[in-house]
Structure 1
Amino acid sequence: MIELKSAEEIGRMAVTGQFVGELLAELKGFAAVGVNLMEIEHHARGRIKERGAESCYWDYAPSFGRGPFRNVLCLSVNDAVLHGLPHDYVLRDGDLLSIDMAVGIDGWVADSALSFVVGTPDPEDLKLIEATEVALEAAIVAAQPGGRLGDISAAIGEVARTYGYGVNGEFGGHGIGRTMHEDPHVANSGRPRRGMRLDPGLTVAIEPWFCRSTDKIRFDDDGWTIRSADGSRTAHSEHTVAITAGGPRVLTRRPGQTTEPAAAA
């Protein structure tokens, strides 16, 4: 079931989104060559506890995975792209790190992710990250009231093709609000002017992710960590977005990012 949120409820989600955006920016600054992934995880746990927020990941137990997830972050390195388990790994120069987090505050959830290179970047990694960011912005611009869900998906797929990347159809974005995962599913490729109508009050997490040289994935033995099937680098960008009568409202912008996307043409 899809629940349309009121302006007041979207405002409450925006409070959560601001915290998520600020913490992701802080974690990006905290991550550096020589830092252990578990240090990043514990730093986030401390900030979430201080804020009185609740992690949506802790005890998360979907159909995949082995046992409930017992961390507050997904930390995915290099060829890992989604659901990476924080573990005893020290970041090395040139590592590509994706951080994904979702928390709830006073019953309202926001979800966001970003990718970046620690230390010396490979230009191909920067291109890959840029592609996910450009795709995310294109999808946000396409998330106009009165439009269709396929407009969002088509925008992501078009950017992927422009950059020369394939799109995996197994995992994508999702509705969000009172819980982390709600209807509808937001695919990362699709046809414009198709699918459900984008009515004001719909809130979704839009999350393009690409692998450098494949659209196939594999799971680690932990049942959680998803990697590119061929071992190539990966990247992931995500924002929580509300459809409003005045256009898309991004709820998880990080400090220094513009508040809203450019208007649709």
Structure 2
Amino acid sequence: MVELKTPGEIEAMAAAGAVVARALTAVRDAADVGVRLVDLDEVARGVLKDAGAASPFLGYQPSFANSPYPGVVCLSVNDAVLHGIPSRYALQDGDLLSVDCGATLDGWTGDAAISFCVGRTGEQDARLLERTAAALQAGIDAAVPGARVGDVSAAVGAVARTAGYGLSTDFGGHGVGHTMHEDPHIANDGRAGRGLRLRAGLTIAIEPWFLAGGVNAYRVDDDGWTLRSTDGSRGAHFEHTIAVTEDGPRILTR
């Protein structure tokens, strides 16, 4: 069921989104050569605690997972692109790190992700990061009243195809509200003019993730969570929670 939010409820979601934004900023500031992923998870936990917010990630176990998620952020390095579990891996110069974070505050949830390189950023990584971020913006720009879900999906997918990157529709954007994953599903590719019509009050997460090698396939690690490219190429992941409004899309996790 798709639930439309009132202006007051959107403001409450923006408060949760602000916590997510602070957590992502804190993790990015702390990410450096030699820093372990578990330490970055602790940084995010501190931000959530200070804000009085809970993590929708911690203990989450969807149908595809064989165990509850153990962290408050997903930390995916290099050829891992989604759902990476915080481990004792120490970041190295040039690593591409994707950070996905959520926060629930006063019963409302925000969800967002960023990707960046630790230390040096190579030319190919810079292009991958720029194009994935551009796809997120293209999807946001398409999320206006009267448009359809397929318009958002098509806008994201067009950027990947033009750049020659791999993408998958298995995991993508979704509704957000009282919980982290609600209807509708927002695939990262699709046909314009198809799907649910967008209305003011709809709150969704748009989250492109692209694979640099151009292969659409991925594999799942033995941990049951981490998604990696099958060809070993690097991945990037960006996400914002937005509200569809009569004045245009409003980013709630900026």
Shorter-normalised TM range: over 0.9
Question: 2:251: which partner in 1?
Answer: 250
Task: List alignment gaps of at least 5 residues for structure 1.
Answer: 254-265
Q: Secondary structure at the match of 1:54?
A: coil
Give the aligned length: 253
Question: 2:145: which partner in 1?
Answer: 145
Q: Deviations over 1:55-107 (max 9, x none)?
A: 00111011122211121010000000000000010000000000001110000
4+ runs deviating over 2 angstroms? none
Distance 2:63 2:230 in 1: 21
Distance 1:163 1:67 in 2: 35
Distance 1:65 1:84 in 2: 12
Task: List alignment gaps of at least 5 residues for structure 2.
Answer: none
Contact 2:26 2:44 in 1 (8 A): no
Larger mean Cα displacement after TM superposition, 41-50 or 106-115: 41-50
RMSD of equivalent CA atoms: 0.8
1:16-55 alignment, distance < 5 Å: 16-55=16-55
Distance 2:80 2:182 in 1: 25
Q: What is the letter of the counterpart of residue 223 of structure 2?
A: D
Question: 1:109: which partner in 2?
Answer: 109
Q: Secondary structure at the match of 1:125?
A: helix
1:141-220 alignment, distance < 5 Å: 141-213=141-213, 214-220=215-221
Matched, 1:82 2:56: no
TM-score by length of 2: 0.98
Q: CA deviation at 1:166?
A: 2.5
Distance 2:168 2:194 in 1: 19
Q: Deviations over 1:202-257 (max 9, x none)?
A: 0000000000111100000000000001111000000001001111000011xxxx
Distance 2:25 2:162 in 1: 28
Same amino acid, percent of matched pairs: 56
Q: What is the letter of the counterpart of residue 144 of structure 1?
A: V
TM-score by length of 1: 0.94
Q: CA deviation at 1:121?
A: 1.2
